[in-house]
Amino acid sequence: MKAALEPIAVFSDFDGTVTTKDTTVLLLELFGNPAWLDIEERMLAGEISEAEGMSAEFALINTSWEEAIGAILNEIHLDSTFPGFIAWLGEAGVPITILSGGVEEISRGLLKKHGIEELEVYANRLHVENNRWTLIPSDRPKIKGLCNHCKTFSVLESQQAGYRTVYIGDGFTDRCPAGKADIIFAKDDLAAYCELNSIEFHCFRDFTDIRIQLERLISHIRFDKKITGKDA
């Protein structure tokens, strides 16, 4: 019975999950050089850490911030079902936090373009000088120190505060936090990783899929507002 009373906290990756295309990949394709593909391969193979790989990839970008953010805002869109999803969570009193392996300034820029300004976003930061880019690792605490932004810390912190955690993601930096979360929604590379490692997960194509599946779970795992009885 205790599990049925636990509140829920939702965490979502940003690039390729909330967005239709990975913002870092677009920047590297437009303003980097092909060396990023080798770095990516070594990172995925575990030869170098995410912290080393992503920092090296950002160092390949050669453009101004204005040109880069202009291209991102023009070419990358949010999943059209995401605004409705966060509104639904808000009505249910369920907190959602974006945990991004990318750059906070970029994710906030895209969210703002779609009228979303109040969302909690944890990500890395950025320094651009004379068209040279430096990724500044997130100042959130890290568990192992292998990633610029340790997403897993936020999931564990929430669990320790008594929340049942939902994690939504699609890629490499989602593997570690998804392995710790209570309920996982995965697509693309993350879904393949979960399958390969026998990690139980739910498939999704968009946030409406997730909403429908969470609504089924509500009968077993109640949302905050139903626990307090204010809106039950």
- The residue ranges that bind Mg ion (CB under 5 A) are 13, 15-16, 170-171
Q: Which is nearer to Mg ion, 25 or 69 (CB)?
A: 25
37, 123 Cβ separation under 8 angstroms: no
What's the min distance (Å) between Cβ of 169 and Mg ion?
6
Q: Which helix (H) or strand (E) holds 11?
A: strand 8-12
Nearer to Mg ion, 40 or 170 (CB): 170
- Of 167 and 223, the one with the shorter C-beta distance to Mg ion is 167
Return d(Cα 163, Cα 140) in angstroms, integer: 19
Write down the least CB distance from residue 138 to Mg ion, Å: 15
Residue pair 211/79 in contact by the 8 Å Cβ criterion? no
CB 177 within 8 A of CB 152: yes
Q: How far is the CB of 17 from Mg ion (least distance, A)?
A: 5
Measured from the CB atom, is 7 or 101 closer to Mg ion?
A: 101
Between the two ends of the chain, the Cα-to-Cα distance in Å is 18
Residue 207, amino acid: F
Residue 218, both tokens: 């509500």
CB of 130: closest distance to Mg ion in angstroms?
29
